[in-house]
Amino acid sequence: MRKGIAVSPGVSVGTAYCIHEIFVNPDTRRLEENQVREELTRFERARDQAASELRALSKKVSSQVGEQEAAIFQAHETILHDPAFTSKVRSCIADDHLAAPAALHRVLDEYSSLFARTRDEYIKERLADVRDVIVRLSGHLSEVLQPDSTDLPGPLVLIASELLPSHVMVLGERQMAGIVTQSGGRTSHAAILARSRGVPAVSGVRGILRQIKTGDRVIVDGRDGVVIVGPDAETESAYRKVEREFVHLKDQLAENRDQDAVTADGEPIELLANVNSLSDTDAAVAMGASGVGLFRTEYLYLTHRDVPDEEEQFQAYCQVIEHSPSRCVTIRTLDLGGDKTVPYFGHDREANPFMGWRSIRLSFEHPDFFATQLRAIHRAAAVADADCDVRLLFPMITILEEMRRLRRIVRRLLRDMQAQGIPTRPIPLGMMLEVPAAAVSIDALLGEVDFVSIGSNDLVQYLMAADRDNPKVNHLCQPLSPAVLRVLSQVIASCRRAGKPVTLCGEMAGMPRGFVLLHGMGLRSFSMSPAQVPVIKDLAKQLSQEKTEAILQRALELKTVGEINRFMRTQFAELAPNLKMLDTQ
């Protein structure tokens, strides 16, 4: 039994499907003499494929983003053709009879120890490039990275070091019953994806890939953050029973999809969905959300083979608007950085990526690239029916000047579009409140925005100075911390005083305990993973303003996150005993 962080509630029992980052267990079997030639050809073929892929990427990125950003792919192609690199790999195959993936693994090891001796940071960073090239090559020797899942029996549990956008494609093809990752925390993207699909998940299980192999039986308990490898028959049958109850409860709750979201005192609340893709948007409808409160557009870029152009983006935005519940969508501009990177912006690796050149900062630096996205969004809003409610949301706003600059950019863009005869429609402009500085100066910022969306995932990590992806500081990165609750109360109160619409779209909105406290703060609009909508709708039926205000008051008197969590657990058990299985910390 291994313990990790519970990131998506529920229980599942299935067959492990391991995605190794690269060669965690390289196949070190020696080739027979007569296999060597074939293996060399296989390597050369992978090299040709990788080279043409890099050339295509470079061309597209250069025209869509910029020459400078495309340079990374040219550099990678140079490594691919570097005689020292290729002859090392060839010699491992021809002289040492290693299979191509194992040869690449050995060469990467050699470079790693060589580079470890240098103090030069620039040189050290080049190792990351060699690594990228090797990962790309391995992708073309594909069976190493992706064991074939088609022969595996029953539901699959995905086991990975971390969940990458490329894994999402695998997920798309075959529904996973559970997800376990070695790194990450409650709000890292693996967790968000798992929750949006309603799949039980546990993160931060260090070293799990060394203890489990594809085909093993595994249990994922997303309530307590437990993973059991190779359970005995008795344990498996006990968990199967809980799994059935979990599935039954979810099905039962989803039947409330056509009901309005109202509290016991008859007050309506808004339950919106966070989506990354069109299929999430369909899930938002199926789960009974009343709109899309956050469309994370970066997944368009992260899952694209190179860069989505204006037309592709326009089509994607139109589709999401068309498929959204009530055709109400808040589209967030590109929020790359931190744990979401694309190769064309990843050349200069930073010591503190979450605090660095990410999100809106990156968009400012690439005005043409940013304008392409803004044009596509405005075009999609303009062609949508008049009753559609499309809004534009800017991530990671830190200072007032940024909002003013964004207003100018949008004004200019609309003028240019009108001059070109392109139909436009002005749409509300909002900010994500996820940086403590913006929380402190919220009153000034409110003058420049039409609405606010609180990004509690980032707000918590910045306020607590605790990386949301690092399991070691998970005890600090807690949304129910006294400091976080105070800041959230103040921000919500400021927005309400100023009469500005405010939503919270971090994962906290869909956590039963978080939801109760936010309701007590006066928040009435929540955006969450689609799968959480029926749970929160059911919970809301037990609440009233008086009740949640009293609970919040008591919680604010407590001094530690442990006390608050214990208190909320008992409150929750009393309020909604039927939902106990779906409660998470």
Q: Which residues bind Mg ion (CB under 5 A)?
A: 434, 455, 458
Q: Which helix (H) or strand (E) holds 545?
A: helix 545-557
d(CA 250, CA 50): 44
Decide: is 231 part of the binding site for ligand PEP (CB under 6 A).
Answer: no
**CB atoms closer than 10 angstroms to residue 298:** 21
Cβ 455 to ligand PEP, closest distance in Å? 3
Cβ 7 to ligand PEP, closest distance in Å? 13
77 binding partner (options ligand PEP, Mg ion, none; Cβ < 5 to 8 Å by kind)? none
Of 108 and 329, nearer to ligand PEP (C-beta) is 329
Task: Tell me the window of 159-167, 435-443, 456-464, 550-558 that interacts with ligand PEP (CB under 6 A).
Answer: 456-464
Interface residue with ligand PEP among 333, 456, 478, 548 (CB under 6 A) is 456
Q: Out of 105, 477, 505, 519, which one is annotated catalytic?
A: 505
> For the chain, how far is it from start to end, CA to CA, in angstroms?
20
Of 12 and 181, nearer to ligand PEP (C-beta) is 181
d(CA 297, CA 317): 9
What would the x/- binding string for ligand PEP be over residues 476 to 505, using CB under 6 A?
Answer: -----------------------------x
Give the Å distances, CA to CA, from 126 to 87, 88, 258, 309. 19, 18, 55, 29
Cβ 526 to ligand PEP, closest distance in Å? 12
296 binding partner (options Mg ion, ligand PEP, none; Cβ < 5 to 8 Å by kind)? ligand PEP
SS (HEC) of 464-527: HCCCCCCHHHCCCCCCCCHHHHHHHHHHHHHHHHHCCCEEECCHHHHCHHHHHHHHHCCCCEEE
Q: Which two tokens stand for residue 261?
A: 């979201």
Interface residue with ligand PEP among 138, 181, 183, 457 (CB under 6 A) is 457
Q: Backbone phi, then psi, for 19, in 5-degree steps?
A: -110, 110
Interface residue with ligand PEP among 53, 77, 221, 335 (CB under 6 A) is 335
d(CA 471, CA 162): 12
Give the Å distances, CA to CA, from 519 to 303, 334, 376, 514. 35, 29, 35, 9
3-state DSSP assignment of residue 224? coil
Of 26 and 455, nearer to ligand PEP (C-beta) is 455
Of 298 and 458, nearer to Mg ion (C-beta) is 458
The residues in 186-205 that bind ligand PEP, with binding defined as CB under 6 A, are: 187
Cβ 190 to ligand PEP, closest distance in Å? 12
Cβ 461 to Mg ion, closest distance in Å? 9
> Catalytic site residue 505?
yes
3-state DSSP assignment of residue 15? strand
Give which of 447, 474, 448 is closest to 461, Cα–Cα: 474
Cβ 316 to ligand PEP, closest distance in Å? 17
Decide: is 296 part of the binding site for ligand PEP (CB under 6 A).
Answer: yes
3-state DSSP assignment of residue 221? strand
571 binding partner (options Mg ion, ligand PEP, none; Cβ < 5 to 8 Å by kind)? none
3-state DSSP assignment of residue 243? helix
d(CA 537, CA 543): 10
Task: Tell me the window of 37-45, 141-149, 452-460, 482-490 that interacts with ligand PEP (CB under 6 A).
Answer: 452-460
Q: Out of 189, 323, 378, 519, which one is annotated catalytic?
A: 189
Of 299 and 314, nearer to Mg ion (C-beta) is 299
Of 200 and 455, nearer to Mg ion (C-beta) is 455
CB 213 within 8 A of CB 19: no
Q: How many residues bind ligand PEP (CB under 6 A)?
A: 11
Q: Which residues bind to ligand PEP, rule: CB under 6 A?
A: 187, 294, 296, 335, 434, 455-458, 505-506
Q: Which residues are catalytic?
A: 189, 505
